[in-house]
Structure 1
Amino acid sequence: MKEIVEYTDYRKFIQDYYDERKRSSAFTWRDFARDAGFTSPVYLKYVCEGKKSLSVGAAGSVANAMGLAGFESTYFVLMVSYAHAKGDKAKRAAFEERCALAQAHKVRVLGNEEFDYFKSWKNPVLREIAPHMPGARPLEMAHACKQKISATEVSETLDFLMKAGLLKKDKNGNYVQTEKSISMGPVDAVPVAAREMQRQMGEFAVKAMDLPLSERDMSGVTMGITRGVYEQIKKEIADFRRRIVAIASADDDTEQVYRLNLQLFPLSERLEKKREIEKEREEQNEK
């Protein structure tokens, strides 16, 4: 079984614990529930299947039943707290608390660097700028950014990118990218941070409306669609995004850093209710 800090989903951790015990003994869900103080013999099974949720209050008892103590017990409770957090702000706070606990015990949390990377526009922008400004000082890089940023912030961002392994220095002391492109990946906390970056980039897109047409391209279409068509469009966008990344990655040179926002979002509520009402009216008129 993996170390607890390699988990982001408490349900998966409980399931893996159960499976490991089951392989080496006659351990049952009834035994597990009894040890954790639950009257229902299948409660924890339902938790793992997503049919029930483990409360923060009961998390400590389950941790004890799994033999967790000290740091690991607290970490498990924080995983449950994260799952119950409502809204991005609360989820960020819960995730950062988990990371702080792990850091205090000199343990790396899966997704920590990824989470921090997607929290701010400064990280992806400077990751693109720095390798193409060899020998430049932080103040020069700050002036190269469209958005306001200080030389100190540039230095801090570059330090983070180096520590996270997203930039490195060559033999001449110039920055180079360790990978050409970055994706969010499967870590559950990353989309929470990514939404914050998307908000920032969305605000920058509004400001970019004032740029000359020769420097920006913006268009949109409003359409009525079904859920099936929505899924088809999502797939087309994903394929298009991959092709764009491939095109950009094929050229090692950079003259300017651009952001491409792809946005598909609803402008109305679901219209099924309206159709149901019309159908009811038709049936009433027939009577």
Structure 2
Amino acid sequence: MKPITEYNDYRAYMRDFYEERKRVSYFTWRQFASLAGFVSPTYLKLVCEGKSRLSKPGIAKVARAMGLEGFDYTYFGLLVKFESAKDAAEKEAILRELEREARLIKVRVVDADAFRYYENPACPIVRELAPIMPKADPGEIAAHIRNKTTMLDVREVLQFLVKAGFLLKTGKGTYEQTEKSVKGSKEAIPLAIRSMNREMAKLGVQAIDTDGIEERNYSGVTMGIDEVAYARIVEEINACRKKVIDIARECQNINQVYRLNLQLFPLTDKVSTRGKKKETSNE
């Protein structure tokens, strides 16, 4: 059976535990429930089928029944809390706690790795910068990053990127990017990306005051649209982003790391339209 840290769904772990016990010995859902101290013989089966949820006391009972201790016990509890979280903010808080716990005991957790990579702007920046600065020490790399990143920050990020497989260390102070993509659960990845977009947007605001217009390109348009127009615009933005990525991949003499933020968001609530054509305002 896989280590619990390779799971991002506590129900899947419970099902695999049950199937593994059943494979090596006579084991039923009734026995599983009894082992955990539940009266209902079908309760845990219903939980695994998504028809019921574990209560807070139930988390401890089931974890102990499966022999989970230490970080594994904590991890199982956090998986249950994540699934039961009421909103995105609560889910983000649980992911941060999971990432902190994983770092303390130096274990790999898929969702924790993804959240850490996306939450910290230094991760993608250093991933791009380190390969083009061979034999540079963390202090030199930090000096090239404009958003107050310290030598210790860079050192820690480099260690994380290598351990997580996002960078390959080829020699002292030399790195290569890997083809590894950032993976996580279908719930964690959107939350992590939202966190990154928030942090990168802050850097974009700072750049208005710190960077000259010869180094940055800002433009925008305020416009009235409907759902159909919105869908068409999103399609065009996605196509543009892919073209930009292709141009970046063709670059042979990389000497700087940039961030492109593509933002399209509502400024008002919806109103009933009366056939009047609205004008756009360039900025």
Aligned-pair Cα RMSD in Å: 3.7
Residue equivalent to 2:58: 58
Secondary structure of residue in 1 paired with 2:109: coil
Secondary structure of residue in 1 paired with 2:57: helix
Please show how residues 129-208 of structure 1 align to structure 2 within 5 Å.
129-170=129-170, 173-179=172-178, 183-187=181-185, 188-208=187-207
Select between 31-40 and 212-221 the one with higher mean Cα deviation: 31-40
- Write the distance in 1 (CA, Å) between the matches of 2:60 and 2:6: 19
Q: 1:200 to 1:237 in 2, by over 3 A?
A: same
Secondary structure of residue in 2 paired with 1:94: helix
Q: 1:161 to 1:107 in 2, by over 3 A?
A: closer
- Write the distance in 2 (CA, Å) between the matches of 1:240 and 1:34: 58
Matched, 1:109 2:112: no
Residue equivalent to 2:102: 99
* TM-score, scaled to structure 1: 0.71
Secondary structure of residue in 1 paired with 2:59: helix
Q: How many Å apart are 1:202 and its aligned residue?
A: 0.6
* TM-score, scaled to structure 2: 0.72
In the alignment, residue 95 of structure 1 is paired with which amino acid? L
Please show how residues 1-287 of structure 1 align to structure 2 within 5 Å.
1-20=1-20, 29=29, 32-33=32-33, 35-38=35-38, 42-65=42-65, 67-71=66-70, 72-85=72-85, 87=89, 90-96=93-99, 98-99=101-102, 103=105, 107-170=107-170, 173-179=172-178, 183-187=181-185, 188-210=187-209, 211-221=211-221, 222-226=223-227, 237-238=237-238, 240-269=240-269
Q: How many Å apart are 1:151 and its aligned residue?
A: 3.3
Q: How many Å apart are 1:29 and its aligned residue?
A: 4.9
Q: 1:157 to 1:265 in 2, by over 3 A?
A: same
Select between 234-243 and 133-142 the one with higher mean Cα deviation: 234-243
Q: 1:109 to 1:241 in 2, by over 3 A?
A: same
* 1:62-107 Cα deviation digits (max 9, x unpaired): 2344x32434444422322343456255313431354257x2xx75
Q: 1:128 to 1:12 in 2, by over 3 A?
A: same
Structure 2 stretches of 5 or more lacking a match? 274-283
- Write the distance in 2 (CA, Å) between the matches of 1:74 and 1:135: 40
Q: Does structure 1 retain, via aligned residues, the 8 Å contact 2:130–2:141? A: yes
Q: How many Å apart are 1:234 and its aligned residue?
A: 5.3
Q: Does structure 1 retain, via aligned residues, the 8 Å contact 2:96–2:115? A: no
Select between 244-253 and 116-125 the one with higher mean Cα deviation: 244-253
Q: How many Å apart are 1:41 and its aligned residue?
A: 5.3
Q: 1:97 to 1:220 in 2, by over 3 A?
A: same
In the alignment, residue 201 of structure 2 is paired with which amino acid? G
Q: Does structure 1 retain, via aligned residues, the 8 Å contact 2:36–2:62? A: yes
Secondary structure of residue in 2 paired with 1:17: helix
Structure 1 stretches of 5 or more lacking a match? 276-287
Q: Does structure 2 retain, via aligned residues, the 8 Å contact 1:167–1:175? A: no
Residue equivalent to 2:279: none
In the alignment, residue 93 of structure 2 is paired with which amino acid? A
Q: How many Å apart are 1:59 and its aligned residue?
A: 1.1
In the alignment, residue 218 of structure 2 is paired with which amino acid? M
- Write the distance in 1 (CA, Å) between the matches of 2:250 and 2:184: 25
Matched residues, percent identical? 42
In the alignment, residue 204 of structure 1 is paired with which amino acid? L
Q: How many Å apart are 1:57 and its aligned residue?
A: 1.7
Secondary structure of residue in 1 paired with 2:182: coil
In the alignment, residue 260 of structure 1 is paired with which amino acid? L
